[in-house]
Amino acid sequence: MSTNTAIIVGAGIGGLTAAHALQRTGWQVRVYEQAPTIAPVGAAVGVAPNAVKALDHIGLGAALRERGVRQEGLEIRLRGGAHVGHLPGAGIEHRYGAPFYALHRAELHSLLMEGLDPDALHTGHRAETVSSGADKATVTLRTAQGTTSETADLVIAADGVGSPLRAALLPDYPGPTYAGYTVWRGTVPAERAEPLGVPHVLSETWGSGARFGVATIDAGQVYWFACESVPEHTNLDHDLGFLAARFQGWHDPIPGLLAATPEDTLIRHDVYYLRERLPAFVRGRVALLGDAAHAVTPDIGQGACLAIEDAVTLAAAIERSGIDAGLRTYDTLRRPRTERMARGSGRIGNVLQTRNPAAALVRNAVASAVPTSLLLRLAGSAFAWDPPFGDGGRESAELAR
Ligand SMILES: Cc1cc2nc3c(=O)[nH]c(=O)nc-3n(C[C@H](O)[C@H](O)[C@H](O)COP(=O)(O)OP(=O)(O)OC[C@H]3O[C@@H](n4cnc5c(N)ncnc54)[C@H](O)[C@@H]3O)c2cc1C
């Protein structure tokens, strides 16, 4: 039997996980990335129990545990420092079968790339269109040398929230929605972070129209993000100065982290997500995966985790049932969960980013009133996922019903 071939467009977390998952089931993969080199954008990423279990399923869990920092808890605070919600790390692990990790994106990327065939990755290739026949799909790619076409048994479009391939495949789809806020991310190196004594707890602090999140990551670094409700495409100069003024008077270590952040680690993006349902994740031999299929806002910390789930599910479904039936299973399994999360994330973001002081007071009071046991149960909508077709696989049980 000849080896199955896949083209994966996009070397983000979703595309690289898909490459790894397919390769380990015997596929020959080629990954095409538009960037000239792989330079992961985005400081750090939280890997929740659902994604840890997915990475375990494809043999990458041990590397994640070695390199990631296990979070001892997740907490919500107010700008003065009061705690309004706490999820203990041990409780998360006990209930959902895996801990919560955080690590630098560069570290996660290198972990995903290590097992890949070194000839599989082609940078400087921008995919422009895709088309599918009955048993092959073809991608047109632009490079510095001109345009080429590549054909394979399967094409995976993992080209992010702005996905050109989604637009080619589903031309009537309206595209991403602005979430109403912009987000800065920064990383503080170990020697500057150490005096601040930041605990291994992933925290998010709420104000009116602004939030600040902190996590300790690999190599003693500290990652933070700051959200501000602003109109789309707002031009803000002197970013770190703006942030120092905006978050002045917020609890420690927030001002200290901003003061200790090297300017060159700072990035800012307006946040977009896919509010509208996609009619399908699969067309012929092309599958959409990750943000290209269901971008969520960062409010639920699940975008990369869901992309990892997608990749593991896709490879497992195809291994089990063959390409066409496997793609149908992938579509059936993935759409309900990810659509729910995408729409829900936008709504959660609106509540968390409210600029209205009265609404912020209600938000804070409601969060304070929720007991830890209920918070843990609520987290289950994301964390209580298991890889399909295994013992107790939640989604495979749903499919069988
Ligand atoms: C502030 C912030 C914090 C976040 N924190 C978390 C978190 O803690 N946990 C979590 O799970 N998620 C988090 N997310 C979400 C997460 O970053 C994304 O969901 C995830 O990176 C999506 O991965 P992806 O591979 O689908 O897409 P991307 O990471 O966007 O990768 C797409 C890749 O495709 C390439 N590409 C695009 N177009 C083309 C083309 N035409 N041809 C070739 N290549 C192309 C791009 O260059 C890119 O490399 C956060 C997001 C933000 C904004």
Ligand 1: centre distance to CA 40 (Å): 9
pLDDT digits (tens, 9 = 90+) for 133-146: 999 999 999 999 99
Q: How far apart are CA 37 and CA 35, in angstroms?
A: 5
Tell me the CATH number for domain 5-176+274-400: 3.50.50.60
Q: Are 270 and 233 in contact, with CB atoms under 8 Å apart?
A: yes
Cα–Cα distance between 289 and 295 in angstroms, integer? 10
Quick: pLDDT tens for 16-55: 999 999 999 999 999 999 999 987 677 899 999 999 999 9
Determine if ligand 1 sits within 6 Å of the CB of residue 293: no
Share of the chain above pLDDT 90, in %: 89
pLDDT digits (tens, 9 = 90+) for 153-179: 999 999 999 999 999 999 999 999 999
Q: What are φ and ψ of residue 60, in 5° steps?
A: -110, 0
Looking at the DSSP assignment, which residues form a beta bridge with residue 310? none
d(CA 250, CA 396): 46
Q: How many CA atoms lie within 13 A of 25 on its CB side?
A: 23
Does ligand 1 have an atom closer than 6 angstroms to the CB of 291? yes
Give the model's confidence band at 401: pLDDT under 50 very low, under 70 low, under 90 confident, else very high: very low
Structure confidence at residue 395 as a pLDDT band (50, 70, 90): very low
By three-state DSSP, how is residue 292 classified? helix
How many whole angstroms separate alpha carbon 283 and alpha carbon 57? Answer: 27
Distance CA 225, CA 212 (A): 6
State yes or no: cis peptide before 253, omega within 30 of 0. yes
**In the chain, what percentage of residues exceed pLDDT 70?**
96
Ligand 1 atom at shortest distance from the alpha carbon of 11: 49
Q: What is the pLDDT of residue 149?
A: 97
Helix (H) or strand (E) holding 225: strand 222-229
Q: Where are the domains of the chain?
A: 5-176+274-400
| Cα–ligand 1 centroid distance for 2 (angstroms) | 33
The 10s digit of each residue's pLDDT in 224-239 is 999 999 999 998 866 7
3-state secondary structure 239-289: HHHHHHHHCCCCCCCHHHHHHHCCHHHCEEEEEEECCCCCCCCEECCEEEC
Q: Is the pLDDT of residue 186 over 60?
A: yes
Q: Name the 3-class secondary structure at 34.
A: coil
pLDDT tens by residue, 48-85? 999 999 999 999 999 999 999 999 999 999 999 999 99
Task: Calculate the alpha carbon distances from 297 to 211, 250, 270, 306 in Å.
Answer: 14, 24, 11, 12
Angle between helices 89-96 and 372-383 (to 10 degrees): 50
Helices H / strands E in the chain, number of each: 15, 19
Q: Atom 31 (ligand 1): residue with closest C-alpha?
A: 12
pLDDT band at 345 (very low <50, low <70, confident <90, very high): very high
Res. 205: pLDDT tops 50: yes
Q: 165 CA to middle of ligand 1, Å?
A: 15
- Whether pTM > 0.75 for this model: the answer is yes
Query: Does the beta carbon of 33 lie inside 6 Å of ligand 1?
Result: yes
| Residue 68 beta carbon below 6 angstroms from any ligand 1 atom | no
Beta bridge pairs of residue 273: 177
Residue 224 Cβ < 6 Å to ligand 1: no
- Nearest ligand 1 atom, CA 303: 19
The rounded Å distance from CA 212 to ligand 1 centre is: 20
Lowest mean pLDDT among 285-299, 363-377, 383-397: 383-397
* Closest Cα to atom 38 of ligand 1: 159
Write the CA distances from 28 to 47, 97, 117, 247, 371, integer angstroms.
Answer: 27, 32, 9, 49, 49
